[in-house]
Amino acid sequence: MPDWDTFAVMVGGVGGALVGLLFVAISIHAKQIGDSPSLRHRAAQTLVVFTTLLLVAVVLAVPGQPDRVIGAELVVLAVGSAILLIRLGRSAEGTDNTALGALLKRVNPNVTTALGIALTGVLLLAGARWAAYTLLPTTCIAIIGGLASAYLLLTKLSD
């Protein structure tokens, strides 16, 4: 996917910045997060979403990889992310009694992110030339969902 290097750089930069900012926020509230299993899991879930974006960028940025290899890497990344996000999501349930929290439970951008990455990988494995374009909405969902999750985490800390 030679034309996707700029996208990879942008997503990698966004993912890296968001991971860094999340670490700063977590370190400021480390005691509160450490004392609450649900907040720890919410923080970890948000970290997985942002790290997944970063890893997607790494996969896309490796030069000379055939589309099928990228597809296989994305499927593996999606499966690993989905397992982590689902387990952490179950552990973090009950922490969000707000309208935004209820919306995130129904729409679940975390699982949607993993499914979008898996879909892109499967389409690349199948040889679909347009497969990479499914990363655009997936990336937007991941960023918005991760930011919403971080917002909920930080507002819970101020309670």
Question: Residue 113's pLDDT is what?
Answer: 92
Instruction: Of 24-38, 45-59, 87-101, give the range with the top mean pLDDT.
Output: 45-59
Q: Please state the φ and ψ torsions of residue 88, each to the nearest 5 degrees.
A: -70, -35
Q: Give this prediction's pTM.
A: 0.84
- How is residue 106 written in tokens? 């129904």
Contact criterion met (CB below 8 Å) for 152 and 101: yes
- Distance between CA 73 and CA 120 in Å, rounded? 10
- Distance between CA 49 and CA 138 in Å, rounded? 11
Q: Give me the mean pLDDT over the 149-158 stretch.
A: 76
Closest CA relative to residue 149, chosen from 38, 74, 56: 38
How sure is the predictor about 3, in pLDDT bands with cuts at 50, 70 and 90?
confident
Over pLDDT 90: what percentage of the chain?
51
H/E segment holding residue 53: helix 37-61
- How is residue 70 written in tokens? 């990228």
Q: Is the confidence at residue 75, as pLDDT, over 90?
A: yes
Q: Please state the φ and ψ torsions of residue 36, each to the nearest 5 degrees.
A: -120, 110
> What sign for the dihedral angle of Cα 9, 7, 150, 51?
negative
The model's pLDDT over 8-31, given as tens digits with 9 standing for 90+, comes to 999 999 999 989 988 888 888 888
Q: Is the confidence at residue 68, as pLDDT, over 80?
A: yes
Among 15-29, 67-81, 129-143, name the one with the lowest average pLDDT: 15-29
> What sign for the dihedral angle of Cα 89, 117, 139, 30?
positive
Between 158 and 52, the more confident residue is 52
How sure is the predictor about 116, in pLDDT bands with cuts at 50, 70 and 90?
very high
Q: Is the confidence at residue 98, as pLDDT, over 90?
A: no
- How is residue 82 written in tokens? 């989905």
